[in-house]
Structure 1
Amino acid sequence: MREPGHIDGRASGQGRVFQTGGDQYIEEHHHHYEPGAGPLLESASTAHRGMTAPDSVRVPLVGRAPGVLRDRADLMERLRAAVSGPGGDVHVLHGLGGCGKTAVAYALFTEAVRDHGYVGLWVNASERISLRAGMLAVAADRGATTGELAAASSGQRAAADLVWHYLDHSAQRWLLVLDNADDPSVLEDGGWLRTSPLGTVLVTTRHANSPLWRGPGVVRYSLGVLPLDDAAQVLCDLAPEAGTADSARKVAQRLGCLPLALTLAGSHLSHQLLESWSMDEYDRKLSEDSTALVDQGAAGTGSSQSRHLVGRTWQLSLDALAGQGLPEATTLLRLLSCWASDPVPVSLLMPVARGEIDLGHLDPPLTAGQVEPALRGLLDHSLIGMVRVNGRRCVEAHGVLLDSVAVGIPRGESEPLAEAAGRLLDAALPPEDDTSAEARSELRLLVPHASRLFHMAPAETTAQLAVRVAQQVYEAGEYAVALATSRTIADKVQQLLREGHPLVLSAWTVVGQALFRLGRYAESEALLRKVLESRERILGPDHPDTLRSCVALFFPLCLPGSEEEAAYWLRRAIDGQRRVLGEDSAETLFSRVTLLEVLPQLGDAEKFDEEARVIEDCERFLPPDHLTTVMAHHDYGDGLRVFGRFAEAEPVARRVLADRIRLQGHDHPLTLAELSLTSRVAHGLGDLDKAISAVQELIERRERVLGPEHPFVVDNRAELARWQAEAQP
C-alpha cells in the first residue's frame, strides 16, 4: 500500500511519467531527430513565443558586403590583434548609422574564418527575439542538445547560461559578432553580453554611451565617415566607368563621405539600364533631392531591409528613442535639420532650455525640461556628436542625415520649425556693434546655419535674417566669408523677391562693400553705383538707405584720381543725414568722421582741422568705446601724418592701436590698419628700426587675414623694400 497522495512510476525508452496532485491538464509535443541530424530550435514553445531560429549563424547577415574595406587599416590591425590574441574581451564598434560598422565586422569575421580557422558566429542583436533565437542557435552550433535547447526555449533553463556554457567549452576558438545592438538593454536583460577565454565578442551599435560598454574587458572604437580620397575610391570601386577620380570626389563630398550613402550611390550608378549618368550628372541631381536619389541604389545592395535605406535608417533610432519615452528627440533633430551640418553651438538651444523661447507648440512638443534628455538621447544613439570649436561646445550631425530628416518633416510642421530655428538664430547673434574677437568667432559659427535656413525655408523673414548675418560678418572684418555668403544670399533673395526690393539691394550692398575691402575696387564701384541708382529711383534721394549707398560708394572712389567725386557723394550723404536723421545720429557722425579720410588727400588742411571737431561730438553723443569714435581718432591721426605732423600723430596712433586691440583683437583688419599707421608715423619720425619691424609684422598678419595678393599687402612690401634700402649705410 502506498500512502495517499504518493505516486510512484517508472518509464523507459520514449516513455514519460508525470506526477501530480489534483486536477492537471497536460499537453506534450514530441520531436524526433534522425541520428546525426542537428536539433530544430523551433519547438512548440518557441513557435508559440514567435521566436524562429535564423537560417544560419555561420554566415554574416548583411546585405551587399564591400569588395574592399577603405580607410579602416589601423582599426582592422587592432581588431586582428584582439582576435588572434588570448581572447576574453568584448570589442564595441559604435557610430552613426551607415558609417560602416557592419562592414568592418564582416571583414574581420571573414578573415577570422578564412585565415585563422576560427568558428565565425553572427547574431542579429537588434531585438530581443532575434538575439535570443540567434544565441540559442549559437549554443546548438557549439553542441547543446535538443533537450537543453527546448528547456532554455521554454524558460525551464537560463538561456544565456546555456549559451555561454557551450561557448566556454567550445572545441574551437570563435569570433561572435552581435550586430546592430542599437538598444543595449536587449543585451543587458538576461546577461547575454559576457566574455570567454576561448573567443572574442564584437558588438556593432549606434549607442555610444551605454554603461554596458564601460565594464571590465570592454574596448570601444568610435567609427566615423571616410576621408575624402577613400570615399571617392569607394565610388570608383563600385562604378569604375562612371567618371574620373575628381568627379568621384565631388560626389563623395556631397554625400558627406558616409559609407552607406556611397555604397548606394555607387550601386545606382553601376546598375542603370534606361539612363547612364556620369558622376558629374549624378552630382548635379543630388542637389535636387539627395536622399531620394541615393536610396534608388538600395535595390542593388542585395537587401530589402529598411535599415539599408538612407532615408529610413535614422528613423529606426528615432523610433527607439520614442519607445524609451523621448519623442521630443525627433523634434530636436528636425530643428537641427533646419540648420547646416556645420557645428551648432549648444548656446543656440539655451533659450529653449531656460524657457525663454517656448517650443511647446511643435509636434512632439520641445519644452525646457526636455532639451537636455533629447540631446542626450541623440548623442547616445550616435545621431549627433559633441565637438569643441574655438572653445565653444557644439553639436554636429551628418549632412545626409539632416537632409533625410528634413525631407521627412510633415508638411504642417515645416513652417513652425523654420520659424523656431530663425528665432533661435536671431537670439544668438551678437549685438550689431560688437565686432570683438569673441563676436567674430560666434558669427563664423552662425553663418552657415543662417544660409541653410534661408535655403530650406525661403521667405522674407529668413532672407532678412540671412542678410543681417552677412552684414554683421562684414562689420566684424570677415570680408572673404562675407563676400561668399552675401553673394549667394543676394542671388537667392533676388529670385525670391523682386529685383528692386529693399532687402535685395541691402544684400548686394554687402557684396559691394566686401569687394572693396578685398581690394577689388573696380567691381565694388560698379556694383555700388548700380545699387545707388536703384535706391534713388525706388526709394528717393533722401531715404536713409539711399544716403547709406552714397557713403558706401565713397570708399572705392577714395583712390588717387577720384577723390573729388568721392568727397561729393560723402558730402551729399552728410547733408541728407543731418536733415533726415539728425546732427547727433550715429550714421551722421560716421559720415562726418569718414570725411576726415579724404580731406588730407585733397590737401585741405584748414578744412581738416575744422572738421576734426567731430571727435568731440562722437565722444559726447556716442557710448564709450564706440567704434565710430575709434575710427575718428584713426582718421585724425592719419591726416596728421599726411600733413607731415608726425609728432602730433604719434600718440594718436599709439592710442588707437591699443583701442583696436582691446576692442577687436590683434588680427581684425582695422587693427592692422592701426599697425600700418604706427609704422608710417615711426618712419616719418626717422625711427627706421621701429618702422621696419612694424611693417614686417603687418605684412605677415595681412597676408594671413587678407591674402598675399591684396593691394594693401603689395603696398606694404614695396614700403618695406624702400625703408630697408634707406636703412643701408
Structure 2
Amino acid sequence: MTGGNDARADGQGRVYQASGDQHITEHHHHGPDWSGPDSVRRPAVGRAPVVLRDRTEEMRRLRAALEPGVGNRVYVLHGLGGCGKTAVAYTLFDHATHHAGRIGLWVNASDPASLRAGMLAVAADRGATDAELMGARSGLRPAADLVWQCLDHSDQPWLLVLDNADNPAILRDGGWLRTSPAGIVVVTSRQAAARWWPGAELLHVGVLPRDEAALVLRDLAPHAGTVDEAALVADRLGRLPLALTLAGGFLAHQVIDPWTLADYGHQLDGGDGRDPIELIDQGALDTSESRHLLSRTWQLSLDALAGQGLPEANSLLRLLACWANDPLPVTLLSGAEVGSDLPVFRIESALRGLLDQSLTELLPEGVSCLRTHGVLLDSVARTIPSDQREQLAATAARQLKATLPENPERVAHDPHINLLAPHVLALLRRVVDWSVAQSVVEEATECSLRLVIALHRDGDFSSALAAADRAVELAKQCLPEDHPLVLRLRQRAGRALYRLGRFEEAEVLHRQVLEACERSLGSAALDTLESCLGLSRALWQLGREPEAMQLIWRAIAGRNETLGPVHPLTLIAKAYVSEVAPGPELDEEVAMGQTLVADCYRTVGEQHSITLLAELDQADLLRRAGRNAEALPTARRALAAHEQRYGGLYPITLAARTLLSNILAELGRYAEAIEQMETVVNARTDVLGTSHPWTVWSEGRLDEYRRLLSQP
C-alpha cells in the first residue's frame, strides 16, 4: 500500500496505520465511567450523633423551613470546627426524609472535585440524562446550570445539604449555590463572614451548655460515671462536641481495663504524663480523616487562610495560644509583632482571617474582646516548633507588661485587670511547660507580680491571693525560691492574707519571707525592708504593737538611708507609725504626723494616695491622743476625699468612715456615730462577709453605740 489514508475514530475507537500485512486484535472492556460519590441520599458523616443535644432554637427554625410549600431559602450553619454543625445538618436531614416528606441530598463541599462530583450526582438523582451528564462532565455545557435545572424541576420537594463548605469561593465559582422554589439548602461552614453568604440566613453553632455537654458523654458511655463526673470532664473539654464525642467514644470502646469518667479527667489533667490532645484523639473511629481528629481539624482552616494569602493567621493563632481561652482584650494585640512571620501591619488582616474561619470570635458586649476555644489553644500550643516558642512567649509577655502598670494606683474597680488575670497565669504556665530561657520566665513572672499588685489595689484580695499562690507555684518550677520575683509574690500573698483577716497566717508567711530576704538579699535590701512592714501589720492586728513598731522603725531607717527622707516609699513607712503607734502619750507622734502630711503635700501633692493615707492616720492619731475636736474636721475631709476617689465600698473608704464614727461617738454624738457605723457594717458584710474580724469588730462597736444612745 502506497497511498495515504484519512480516518477518524469515535468514542473508544482508534486509528492504526501500517505498512504490509498486519493482524490486529483489540479487546474493549467497557465499564462505568463514574468517579462521583456512592450516594447522595445518605449523609456522609464519620459518626452520627446518638442524640442531638441542645440546638433547640436552631432546629426549630430549620424544621419550620421544611414545611410544605417552603423553598427559595439558604441556611448557613457556621462555627468553629468540631462544634457540631454537621450533626445539626444530619439531624435535620433525618427529619426531612422520615417526617417532612422531602428527599434528602447530601454533598461534600470541602473541595472543588468533591463538590462538582456530588452536585452532578444530585443532577443524576433528579433526572438528568446520560447525555446531559456527559456534556456537563466534558465541559460542553455549564454543570451548575444543569444541576439547578434538575433541582428546579424535581417532582418532589427536597433538602440539599452542602457539608464542610469551609471555602465559600468554591461555591461561588461556577454558581453552585443558588435557591429554588422546590427546596431549601443548608450549608455547613467554618466561614462566618456574612459577605460570603448574601441572602442566606446565618445560624451560629457554638459549644454546648454544661448540662447538655455532660449528657453527650453519658449518651456514648452511660456506665462510665455520674452526671456530675461527666459535667467535670465536659468542662475540661471546653464543651466542644467533637471533643465530647471522641472522649465518649474512647470510654465506650475500652475492653481490657475500662476507665471511669474520673479516670479520664485525671488523665486529661496530665496524669501519668499523657498528652491530653493525643488522649482525646484516641476516640476517633478513623484516624486518617483530619476533620475527625482534634489535633488536625484546625489545620484545615489555617490551610484555607494560607491559600487566601494569609499565612500570618497561623502565627497570630500561635500567639493567642500563649494566653488563656477567657475573653482577651483586643488591645492586647496592638503592636504585637512576632518577627517576620507576623509583622505589625499584617495583624489586622490575620485577625480578620481567624474571625472569618471561626477560629476565634469577637464578643459583642462590654470591652472589645476575643474568645478562642481552650482545646483549640492547647492543640495549637503543642504543635508550635520549639525554636519559635521563646519568641512567641516573649512577645506575649511584652504585650501584657505594656498593659499592666508597674505601680498601679488604688482604684475602686478596674474590669480590665480581671480580664487580664487568666491570661497572665496562662502565659506563666506556658513558659514553664516550654522550658524557655530564664529571662522569658522572669518576664512572665513579673507580669504575674504586676497583676497581683493590681488586684490587691483594686480591693479584690481573694483573687490577689489566689493569683499570687498560683504564680509562686509555677515560677518555682524554673526560678529559685529566693529569686526576688518569687519573694515579692510571696510578700503580696501575705498582704492579701492580712486583708482577708487571716492575721496568724499572714504573720507566718511574712516572717518566712523576711528570713529568706535577709538570707539571700541582705538586711538592708529594699525587699527586706518591705517584708518588715508587711510583718508589722500582722503583728499589730495580733496585739503585738511593740514588735510591730521595731520593724516599722527599721524600715524607715533603711529607706531613709537608701532612698532619702521624702521618697514616696519612705513616706509610706512613716505613715505606718501614725497607724500603729501605741498610746496614750502620743504628742511626739502627732507632731511627726503633722510633719509627714506637710512633706506629702510638698512632695507628691495633696490628692496623692499617700497624702490621703497620711491625713487619715493623722486624724486617728489625734483621736487616740484624746484630741477629738481637732480630729473631727480632719476625719471628715479624709472620708470625703477617699469616697470621691475610691467609692463607698473600698476598704480604705470604710476605714475612714469607721474612724469618723469612732470620733463622733467619743464626742457623745451617738446618733451620728450609729449612722456611720451602720453603713460600715452593711458594706463590710457585703464585701468581707459576716465572719471577717473587721466585720465582727464593726458590729460590736455598732451595738455599743446603740446601747450608749439608749441610756438615760
Q: TM-score, normalised by structure 1?
A: 0.88
Matched, 1:498 2:484: no
Q: For each residue in 1:591-627, what CA deviation from the matched residue of structure 2 results, as whole angstroms up to 9, or x when unmatched? A: 101111012x433321331221111111222255322
CA distance in 1, matches of 2:95, 2:221: 25
Between 1:159-168 and 1:254-263, the stretch displaced more is 159-168
Would the alpha carbon gap of residues 683 and 169 (structure 1) be closer, same or farther in structure 2, given more than 3 Å must change? Answer: farther
Q: Using the TM superposition, give the Cα deviation of residue 697 of structure 1 relative to its aligned residue in structure 2, in angstroms.
A: 3.8
Equivalent residue for 1:394, pick from 369, 372, 393: 369
Amino acid in structure 1 at the alignment position of 2:101: G
The corresponding residue for 1:295 is 281
Q: Do structure 1's residue 565 and structure 2's residue 544 form an aligned pair?
A: no
CA distance in 2, matches of 1:147, 1:656: 93
Q: What's the counterpart of residue 611 of structure 1?
A: 592
Q: Do structure 1's residue 72 and structure 2's residue 46 form an aligned pair? A: no
Tell me what 2:36 maps to.
53
The 1:238/1:602 distance shift into structure 2, 3 A limit, reads: farther
| Mean CA deviation greater in 155-164 or 621-630 | 621-630
Seq. identity, %: 48
How has the CA–CA distance of structure 1 residues 441 and 654 changed in structure 2, closer, same or farther, with 3 Å as cutoff?
A: farther
Identify if the C-alpha distance between structure 1 residues 228 and 643 changes in structure 2 by more than 3 Å, giving closer, same or farther: farther
Larger deviation, residues 286-295 vs 250-259: 286-295
Deviation for aligned residue 1:336: 0.5
1:455 aligns with 2:439: no
Which stretch shows the higher mean deviation, 341-350 or 689-698? 689-698
1:192 aligns to what?
176
Read off the aligned partner of 1:403 and give its amino acid letter. D
Moved more, 689-698 or 462-471: 689-698
1:379 is paired with a residue whose SS is: helix
Query: What is the alpha-carbon root mean square deviation over aligned residues?
Result: 2.4
- The equivalences for 1:646-657 within 5 A come to 646-657=628-639
Matching residue within 388, 392, 398 for 1:423: 398
Q: For 2:691 and 2:181, locate their aligned partners in 1 and report how far apart those are by CA, in whole Å.
A: 65
Contact 1:88–1:200, Cα closer than 8 Å, also in 2 = yes
Cα distance, 1:264 vs structure 2: 0.6
- 2:338 corresponding residue in structure 1: 359
Residue 180 of structure 1 is matched in structure 2 by: 164
Indicate which of 371, 378, 381 corresponds to 1:403: 378
Q: Distance in 2 between matches of 1:24 and 1:205?
A: 52
Q: Which of residues 402, 405, 418 is equivalent to 1:444?
A: 418
Equivalent pair of 1:184/1:210 in contact (CA under 8 Å)? no
Q: Which stretch of structure 1 is more off in the superposition, 562-571 or 687-696? A: 687-696
Match of 1:203 among 180, 187, 190: 187
CA contact (8 A) 2:517 2:527 kept: yes
Tell me: CA distance 1:179–1:667, structure 2 relative to 1, closer, same or farther (3 Å). Answer: farther
- Provide, for residues 134-154 of structure 1, a one-character-per-residue CA deviation record: whole Å limited to 9, x for no partner: 111111111111111111222
Q: In the aligned structure 1, how far is the partner of 2:445 from the partner of 2:654? A: 32
Q: CA deviation at 1:303?
A: 6.8
**1:578 aligned to which of 560, 575, 578:** 560
Identify if the C-alpha distance between structure 1 residues 718 and 158 changes in structure 2 by more than 3 Å, giving closer, same or farther. farther
Q: Counterpart of 2:558 in 1: which secondary structure?
A: helix
Q: 1:690 to 1:112 in 2, by over 3 A?
A: farther
Assess, with a 3 A threshold, how the Cα gap between structure 1 residues 24 and 342 changes in structure 2: closer, same or farther. Answer: farther
Distance 1:703 1:125 in 2: 60
Equivalent of 1:602, from 583, 588, 611?
583
Q: Report matched runs for 1:150-165 at 5 Å.
A: 150-165=134-149
Match in the other structure for 2:20: none
Q: CA deviation at 1:108?
A: 1.0
Q: Deviations over 1:468-501 (max 9, x none)?
A: 3223322332211111111011122223222333
Cα distance, 1:282 vs. partner? 1.6
One-letter amino acid of the counterpart of residue 177, structure 2: L
Deviations 1:329-386 (A, max 9, x none): 001000000011111111111134xxxxx4334xxx2112201101110001111111
Runs of at least 5 residues in structure 1 that lack an aligned partner in the other structure: 1-22, 31-39, 353-357
Q: Please tell me the residue identity of whatever aligns with 2:360.
A: I
Letter in 1 for 2:426: R
SS at match of 1:65: coil
SS of the equivalent of 1:93 reads strand
Counterpart CA distance in 2 for 1:41 and 1:113 is 32
Whether the 8 Å CA contact 2:529–2:558 is kept in 1: the answer is yes
Q: Is the 8 A contact 1:41 1:150 kept in 2?
A: no
Q: How does 1:77-476 map to 2 (within 5 A)?
A: 77-84=60-67, 86-213=70-197, 215-216=198-199, 218-288=200-270, 289-299=275-285, 304-352=288-336, 358-361=337-340, 365-387=341-363, 391-437=366-412, 440-458=414-432, 459-476=441-458
1:617-656 counterparts in 2 under 5 A? 617-623=599-605, 625-656=607-638
The aligned residue for residue 482 of structure 1 is: 464
**Contact 1:63–1:303 (Cα < 8 Å) also in 2:** no
Counterpart CA distance in 2 for 1:701 and 1:255 is 39
8 Å contact kept, 1:182–1:206: yes
Distance in 2 of aligned mates of 1:432 and 1:144: 75
Do 2:552 and 2:573's aligned partners in 1 also have CA atoms closer than 8 Å?
A: yes
Paired residue secondary structure (2:334): helix
The one-letter code matched in structure 1 to 2:163 is D
Q: Which amino acid aligns with 2:162?
A: L
Q: 1:134 to 1:728 in 2, by over 3 A?
A: farther
The 8 Å contact of residues 600 and 606 in structure 2, kept in 1 or not, is answered as no
Instruction: Evaluate the alpha carbon distance shift between residue 75 and residue 495 of structure 1 in structure 2; reply closer, same or farther with a 3 A threshold.
Output: same
**Alpha-carbon distance between aligned partners in 2 of 1:196 and 1:698, rounded to the nearest angstrom:** 69
Residues paired across the two proteins, number = 676
Give the TM-score of the pair, scaled to structure 2.
Answer: 0.90
Tell me which amino acid in the other structure corresponds to 1:94.
H
Secondary structure of 1:84's match? coil
Contact 2:583/2:624, CA 8 A, preserved across alignment: no
Bigger shift: residues 558-567 or 372-381: 558-567
1:539–1:187 distance in 2 versus 1, CA, 3 Å: same
Indicate how the Cα distance of structure 1 residues 190 and 682 shifts in structure 2: closer, same or farther if over 3 A, else same: farther
**Structure 2 unmatched ranges of 5 or more:** 1-5, 14-29, 433-440
Counterparts of 1:91 and 1:379, CA distance in 2:
20
Q: Deviations over 1:527-559 (max 9, x none)?
A: 111111121222222111111110000111112
CA distance in 2, matches of 1:251, 1:41: 52
Alpha-carbon offset, residue 724 of structure 1: 4.7
Q: Does the 8 A contact of 1:298 with 1:304 survive in 2?
A: no
Q: Which amino acid aligns with 2:352?
A: R
User: CA–CA distance in 2 between the matches of 1:670 and 1:336?
Assistant: 38
Bigger CA drift: 257-266 or 573-582?
573-582
CA distance 1:24–1:339, shift in 2 (3 Å): farther
Partner of 1:28: 11
- Report the residue type matching 2:195 in the other structure: P
Structure 2: distance between partners of 1:24 and 1:606: 126
Aligned partners of 2:163 and 2:665: how far apart in 1? Answer: 72
1:677 equivalent in alignment to 2:652 = no
What is the DSSP-based 3-state SS (H/G/I as helix, E as strand, rest coil) of the residue aligned with 1:457?
helix
Question: Contact 1:41 / 1:53 at 8 angstroms: preserved in 2?
Answer: no
